[in-house]
Amino acid sequence: QVQLVESGGGLVQAGGSLKLSCVASGRTFSSSAMGWFRQAPGKEREFVAGILWSARSTKYADSVKGRFTISGDNAKNTVYLQMNSLKPEDRAVYYCAADLDSTHIVRVTTGAYEYWGQGTQVTVSS
Residue 62 near residue 89 (C-beta atoms within 8 A): no
Query: What pLDDT, on a 0 to 100 scale, did the predictor assign at position 123?
Result: 98
pLDDT above 70 coverage of the chain, percent:
97
Q: What is the C-alpha radius of gyration for the chain, rounded to an integer number of angstroms? A: 13
Q: Which amino acid is at 96?
A: C
Query: What pLDDT, on a 0 to 100 scale, did the predictor assign at position 102?
Result: 82
Query: What pLDDT, on a 0 to 100 scale, did the predictor assign at position 30?
Result: 64
Which backbone phi and psi does 81 adopt, to 5 degrees? -135, 105
Residue 124 has pLDDT above 70, yes or no: yes
For the chain, the average pLDDT equals: 93
Residue 82 has pLDDT above 90, yes or no: yes
Which backbone phi and psi does 29 adopt, to 5 degrees? -115, 25
Residue 15 near residue 126 (C-beta atoms within 8 A): no
Which backbone phi and psi does 80 adopt, to 5 degrees? -120, 155
Task: Convert the pLDDT of each residue in 18-77 to its tens digit.
Answer: 999 999 998 766 658 999 999 999 999 999 999 998 777 999 999 999 999 999 998 898
Query: What pLDDT, on a 0 to 100 scale, did the predictor assign at position 104?
Result: 84
